[in-house]
Amino acid sequence: MGTGTPRLVRTPAEAAKLSKVGSAHHLLNIPNFLTLVRIILIPFFVVLISKHRLTEGLYVFAAAAVTDSLDGTVARWFDSKTELGAFLDPFADKLLLVSSFVVLTIEGVFPAWLLSVIVIRDVVVVFGYLMLTFFTAERIPVRPSYFGKACTFLQLACVVGALLGFGMDSGSLWYGLLHLTVAMTGVSGLHYMYRGLVWLQFREPEMFE
C-alpha cells in the first residue's frame, strides 16, 4: 500500500546470508586477527635468523609474543572466544616455538638433541590427542598443565637467550638451561600421556562397543 513501513520479514535466502555474515564477523574478531598476525610474523622471523640478524629477529619474536598476550586478554575482556581461536592460538604458539628451534638448530645455536626431544614430545602429544578423539568420539578439552606451562616458559627462555647471544658463550649456565628444558619437556610429555590415559580409563572407546 506504500505506507513506508519497513519490511521485517526476511526470506530464507536473506536470513541465511545474514547468518553467514554474522558468523564471518564472529570468526574474524580482534583476538583471531592478532593470532593470524603472529602466524604471518613467523616467516619473517625465520628469514631474519637465517641471515644472522638476531637483533631484528628478537624484535619480531617480541612482537609475536605481544600479540600472544593481547589476543587472550582481548578475548577475555570482550568475551569473544571462538572455536577457531581456541584452535589457532595454541597452533600459532607451537608453530612459532618449533620454527624458532628448527632455524636456530640449523644455524648451530642449539644442539640437535634439544630439537629432537622437543619435536618427539610434540608429535607424541598431538598423536595421542588425535587417537583419544578418534576412540572416544569426543572433543577433549585442551588445558595446559603446570608442567606444560613450565616447559613453554623454559623453551621461550632458550629462544630469547639464543637471540641475545648467550648461546655463543656456551657457558655452564647456558647448558644448564638447555638440560633443564629437555628434562621439563620430557616430564610434561609424560604428564600429558598420563592425563590422556586417565581420560580414556573413564570412557568406553567406541571401537570396543
pLDDT in tens, 113-131: 999 999 999 999 888 888 8
- Within this chain, do residues 90 and 35 fall inside the same structural domain, yes or no? yes
- Within this chain, do residues 92 and 164 fall inside the same structural domain, yes or no? no
- Within this chain, do residues 89 and 134 fall inside the same structural domain, yes or no? no
The pLDDT value given to residue 87? 67
Query: Of 70, 96, 122, which residue constitutes the final position of a domain?
Result: 96
- Within this chain, do residues 114 and 175 fall inside the same structural domain, yes or no? yes
Domain limits for position 28: 13-96
The pLDDT value given to residue 48? 94
127 in any annotated domain: yes
pLDDT in tens, 183-193: 999 999 999 88
What's this model's pTM, rounded to 2 decimal places? 0.75
Query: Of 64, 96, 128, which residue constitutes the final position of a domain?
Result: 96
The pLDDT value given to residue 28? 59
- Within this chain, do residues 115 and 192 fall inside the same structural domain, yes or no? yes
- Within this chain, do residues 85 and 145 fall inside the same structural domain, yes or no? no
Mean pLDDT of 131-140: 75
Contact 115, 162 (CB under 8 A): no
pLDDT in tens, 66-106: 887 776 666 666 666 666 666 677 788 889 999 999 999 99
pLDDT in tens, 34-69: 888 889 999 999 999 999 899 999 999 999 888 877
103 in any annotated domain: no
Q: What is the DSSP string of the chain?
A: ----PPP----HHHHHHHHHHHHHHHHSSHHHHHHHHHHHHHHHHHHHHHTT-HHHHHHHHHHHHHHHHHHHHHHHHTT---HHHHHHHHHHHHHHHHHHHHHHHHTTSS-HHHHHHHHHHHHHHHHHHHHHHHHH-S-------HHHHHHHHHHHHHHHHHHTTHHHH--HHHHHHHHHHHHHHHHHHHHHHHHHHHHHHTS--GGG-
Locate cell 649456565: which residue? 173
- Within this chain, do residues 90 and 158 fall inside the same structural domain, yes or no? no
- Within this chain, do residues 122 and 191 fall inside the same structural domain, yes or no? yes
Please state the domain count of the chain.
2
